[in-house]
Chain A
Amino acid sequence: MDRSRVQWNIDWNKNEYLFFGLLGLDVIEGGDMISDPDTDGGSTILSPPSLIWAGSREVKTEYKRITHNLYLVNVRLNMAATLPPINGSGGGSRKGQHVQQHFIPAPRGPPSGKLKPLKKIQSKTDRDLYIKQEILRQQQPELSKRQTTSYRNSYKHNLCLDMLQEGYHRSFDELFALIKQQEEERQQQGPESLMWSMTLLKDQHEKLDMLKRHLTLAEKAYRAGDFADVYRNRFTLACYFQTTDKWLADHFFQTCLQTAGEMSDGDGKMKAEGDIHGAAEQFENYYKLSTDHKEWIQSDGLTYNTDACIHLCRIYTTLARSESTEPETTLEKLEGEASYRLGLAYDQGNDGETALLHLNNYLEICNASSDSDGIGKACDAIAKAYARQGKVNESITYLKKFVEVTESSGEEKAYSKACHNLGNIYNTLGRYEEATEYFSKAYNLSRTMGDAESISTNRVQFGIAMAHKMLAGISEHVVTGHRQAIERIIEWKNARTDEFDKPYPEPIKIGKEEIVKPRTPTPLPPASEKGDEENQEQENEKENENKNTEKEEAAS
């Protein structure tokens, strides 16, 4: 057989394979034979295996004779064709195009048995290398489809797939929603925020694993109807995230609470109660945390603190109700406590009506248990809430009650506080009589207690109230303006003894000397010759000075 050398130069998706060899000359192109004119047509048909596999359609061949028996064949291949191009649709003209036999679906094997893949490794070193590589490859374990995809996909993706494959679609739903929620929040806050640089949940593999494990367990238990187990798993998650991710902890506490609610409907009521206790503890923690960080604000303007209070109250009321068969005062106390906190929280959140509702509830509970301390607290809070709403009269009644209760119980601190508040209110109302009375009480009490801070505040307040009170008498004297009155004023200026207000009861009680007596060394000009108006002005000045000195004293 006449042999010629053919050089194969194949461009296969830019990878070049070069084949050298002593070959026959027939090349398959488009299913047709191209035979070399110098050899007989019936010689061996040879072709690189990839060429045949491609279906021999998208092939362009350049066939060049270099020497007598060396041919250069340039072959360009496209990607493996699975389907043929449509006849006549490509270039428009159908004439002259090769119309080929098509196989659908391609690819198929070599069309004839004559074709043999050619693999000839020339040198010994090359062959050794090849064999070595083959051996190495065989030693590697074969990768399954799942292994390759798990390598290709993200961690979160694989995790979700595992969950779904096991049929835990609710867990998947929840996890997916959580991750999405975080991403959206991040997007909302923009690239400048702190959250932007935080590691997202989907990149924290350990947490994802934890979530997956417990969520799937919870779902399993849910399917089996074992709510206690559901609760336990969610609770574990909530605890796990408590220190690091507050929002996750919050989410799981909420679901815990839901589960607890569902449980108490069913048979496992006793268990549920125990778990509610657990929930209460957790919310206590939550509450403490939130009180430490009052600046944490939820999206709807509700503080976490308020949120915590609401949850706590819910739990306490559930507790109280569930154990109502055995009337325990402690539980009632708990409930009362909860409503008190709730009331305060609502008051902070500017919802006075609801706040009053809860506070009154608390008051009732305290009344029932004759808890004077609690009654006092309740009255105080209620009075504050009323004052905020502008209902002064109601506020005064509750404050009076507060005073009474504290007086009878003998709690000095609370008593002083009550007197102080009441005095304040009277002061703003312009009823200085009562105001001075209560302030003096408060002042005395704080003096006996020896609490420096409250002494000074009460002293200032007492002074202000007294000044207000005296102002009326003085201005009256000034206005009447007859000799006696003026003399009295002058006398007062000199001696600071309240002589000119005979018709009025003596306002000064214990401690008066300290406060009212002016230490001002300013020499006073003779006042009698001056006109009424000037006089009054001076009086006012005096009044102010008086106040100032008092304040200075207080401050010192």
Chain B
Amino acid sequence: MYMFDLKMTLNPLANAKGIKLVCELCQKPAFIQCTKCRVTYYCDVEHQKADWMGIHEKICQSLIPLRQAAPFLPSEEDRQKREKHLQIKKRHMIDLTRTTGQKLLFEGRHEQAVPAAMQSLRFAIDVHGLASIELVPSYLILGEASIGLGRLSQAEEYLAQAQWTVLKTPECSNAIKSKLYRNLGLLYAAKGEYEDALRQLADDIYHSSEEFGTNDIRTSGGYFHMANVFFRQGRMEIADSLYSQVTDIWYNHLLKIVTIRTRTPVASTGIGPLIMDTNEEKEDELDEAQEAEAVQVLNAIYDMREHQQNRKPQNLARICHALSMLYYILLDIPKAKEFGRKAVVASEGDPDDNLSRTVVEFMKILETQRI
């Protein structure tokens, strides 16, 4: 691609005395240099490519002021001003790299998330020091990426570091703790230590409930992973009950969004499509990461339900309806219709009228949508 023509070869022997240039990813002696920023070095093209895909593309230019030698500033005031400016920039970089990493993780691209997480960790260390709680989110991303890549011992090291920091910081928020325990739970589950995994996930649910309440979509992740562990243990009853809890949480949340959305046009007919659109944007309560999570979780439950031997029709109908609503919110109307139809079929033999009625109503709304 584009940039790989722009690499510049270095010879370590030609470095100025006392300077060792090292690779951005592996910290080995560097042989090439990024020609766009000229402050980043790599041991080979592979690493340059990986870094570029993961994060460097986004931060290439922003790195220049951060890594360049300080200009000569005669007054103390100027120096302090520059220092302050750099701090702000670094903080911004932490945010940027972290969200990038998170997004890549949700998309399942663990390999690419690693460079971004590393970058964010470095900036965080630079700004907050080594023992700060601010480093934990970066450790968690690294840990999750490592679990995703199957490097369990590495993941454990990162998570242990994060846990130690959390332990040393009593005032740490419940949200961070919940995330930490979720990752630990995933780690143990990946290792096959199910009891430990359950313990950690229980901790996750507890902290998350403290922060958001027991029936929040942010808590549902813990329930979902826990259900998976029980599923793998073969304790189907519990898994089933947990899966239906997760479905219920998502179902109610999505239903709320959908009702708000479908009500808006009724109130504002005649005002014009522009205003309607802005209203809808405001009421959207799912952010990018949550959307990705919803798609992943609900599809997984759907697959599970479909292959279940003695499934109850209302469970299937419910998950189908939830998926249909989700795709409606994501503006994927054909898929929404497909799941809506499945929901109708599943709820036909069901004694619970309420559900089937809402499903049919929802289908009507779908029919009026332009594709």
* Total number of A residues with any Cβ neighbor in B under 8 Å: 47
A99-129 interface bits toward B, Cβ cutoff 8 Å, 1 = contact, 0 = none: 1111111000000000000000000000000
**A95 & B18 in contact (Cβ 8 Å cutoff):** yes
**A79 & B230 in contact (Cβ 8 Å cutoff):** no
A164 within 8 A of B: yes
Residues of B within 8 A of A79 (CB): 130-131
Given contacts A86-B126, A176-B214, contact A169 B198 (CB under 8 A): no
Size category of the B interface is: 35 or more
Task: Give the number of A-B contacts (CB < 8 Å).
Answer: 111
A409 to B62, CA, bound (A): 101
A518 to B328, CA, bound (A): 92
Given contacts A89-B67, A99-B21, A165-B199, contact A105 B226 (CB under 8 A): no
**A161 & B214 in contact (Cβ 8 Å cutoff):** no
Which chain A residue shows the least CB distance to B29? A101
B171-184 interface bits toward A, Cβ cutoff 8 Å, 1 = contact, 0 = none: 00000000000000
A223 within 8 A of B: yes
Picked from A83, A161, A173, A223, the residue with its CB within 8 Å of the CB of B125 is A83
A160 within 8 A of B: yes
Given contacts A92-B69, A94-B69, contact A167 B157 (CB under 8 A): no
Shortest beta-carbon distance from A91 to chain B in Å: 8
B1-27 interface bits toward A, Cβ cutoff 8 Å, 1 = contact, 0 = none: 000000000000000101111100011
Given contacts A79-B130, A94-B19, contact A102 B238 (CB under 8 A): no
Given contacts A86-B126, A88-B39, A146-B199, contact A177 B214 (CB under 8 A): yes
A104 to B131, CA, bound (A): 17
Stretch at the interface among B43-51, B200-208, B306-314: B200-208
Residues of B within 8 A of A85 (CB): 122, 125-126
B121 within 8 A of A: yes
Shortest beta-carbon distance from B93 to chain A in Å: 10
Given contacts A161-B202, A176-B209, contact A102 B39 (CB under 8 A): no
**A164 & B205 in contact (Cβ 8 Å cutoff):** yes
Given contacts A93-B69, A99-B18, A169-B242, contact A104 B27 (CB under 8 A): yes
Interface residues in B192-233 (C-beta closer than 8 Å to A): 195-196, 198-199, 201-203, 205-206, 209, 214-215, 223, 226, 230
Residues of B within 8 A of A161 (CB): 199, 202-203, 206
Shortest beta-carbon distance from A221 to chain B in Å: 12
Picked from B19, B26, B245, the residue with its CB within 8 Å of the CB of A169 is B245
B66 within 8 A of A: yes
**B230 & A167 in contact (Cβ 8 Å cutoff):** yes
A152-166 interface bits toward B, Cβ cutoff 8 Å, 1 = contact, 0 = none: 000001001111110
Which chain B residue shows the least CB distance to A91? B70
Which chain A residue shows the least CB distance to B213? A180
**A102 & B27 in contact (Cβ 8 Å cutoff):** yes
Shortest beta-carbon distance from B110 to chain A in Å: 16
Residues of A within 8 A of B69 (CB): 88, 92-95
**B66 & A89 in contact (Cβ 8 Å cutoff):** yes
Interface residues in B50-70 (C-beta closer than 8 Å to A): 66-70
Which chain B residue shows the least CB distance to A168? B238
B262 within 8 A of A: no
**A92 & B202 in contact (Cβ 8 Å cutoff):** no
Shortest beta-carbon distance from B228 to chain A in Å: 12
B251 within 8 A of A: no
Which chain A residue shows the least CB distance to B27? A102
A160 to B126, CA, bound (A): 38
Interface residues in A58-100 (C-beta closer than 8 Å to B): 58, 78-100
Given contacts A160-B202, A223-B241, contact A99 B22 (CB under 8 A): yes
Residues of A within 8 A of B196 (CB): 145
Shortest beta-carbon distance from B147 to chain A in Å: 14
Given contacts A86-B126, A102-B27, A105-B154, contact A167 B235 (CB under 8 A): yes
B95 within 8 A of A: no
Shortest beta-carbon distance from A327 to chain B in Å: 31
B35 within 8 A of A: no
**B223 & A169 in contact (Cβ 8 Å cutoff):** yes
**B27 & A165 in contact (Cβ 8 Å cutoff):** no
**A173 & B214 in contact (Cβ 8 Å cutoff):** yes
Shortest beta-carbon distance from B348 to chain A in Å: 21
B161 within 8 A of A: yes
B327 within 8 A of A: no
Interface residues in B131-160 (C-beta closer than 8 Å to A): 131, 154, 157-158
Residues of A within 8 A of B67 (CB): 86-89
Residues of B within 8 A of A96 (CB): 18
Shortest beta-carbon distance from B159 to chain A in Å: 11
B338 within 8 A of A: no
**B20 & A99 in contact (Cβ 8 Å cutoff):** yes
Picked from A58, A78, A87, the residue with its CB within 8 Å of the CB of B22 is A87
B284 within 8 A of A: no
B237 within 8 A of A: yes
A172 within 8 A of B: yes
Residues of A within 8 A of B215 (CB): 173
A163 to B214, CA, bound (A): 14
A213 within 8 A of B: no
Residues of A within 8 A of B199 (CB): 146, 161, 165
A170 within 8 A of B: yes
Shortest beta-carbon distance from A496 to chain B in Å: 78
Picked from A89, A105, A172, A177, the residue with its CB within 8 Å of the CB of B158 is A105
Given contacts A81-B130, A161-B199, A223-B241, contact A86 B18 (CB under 8 A): no
Residues of A within 8 A of B118 (CB): 104
Residues of A within 8 A of B21 (CB): 87, 99
Given contacts A86-B122, A169-B242, A169-B245, contact A99 B158 (CB under 8 A): no
Residues of B within 8 A of A101 (CB): 20, 22, 27
Which chain A residue shows the least CB distance to B229? A167
Residues of B within 8 A of A105 (CB): 154, 157-158, 161
- Give me the interface of B with A, judged by CB distance under 8 Å: 16, 18-22, 26-27, 39, 66-70, 118, 121-123, 125-126, 130-131, 154, 157-158, 161, 195-196, 198-199, 201-203, 205-206, 209, 214-215, 223, 226, 230, 235, 237-238, 241-242, 245
- Give me the interface of A with B, judged by CB distance under 8 Å: 58, 78-105, 145-146, 149, 157, 160-165, 167, 169-170, 172-173, 176-177, 223
Given contacts A85-B122, A101-B22, A167-B238, 14 further A-B contacts (CB under 8 A): A85-B126, A89-B126, A92-B68, A92-B69, A93-B69, A95-B18, A99-B19, A102-B27, A104-B27, A145-B196, A161-B203, A164-B205, A167-B230, A169-B245
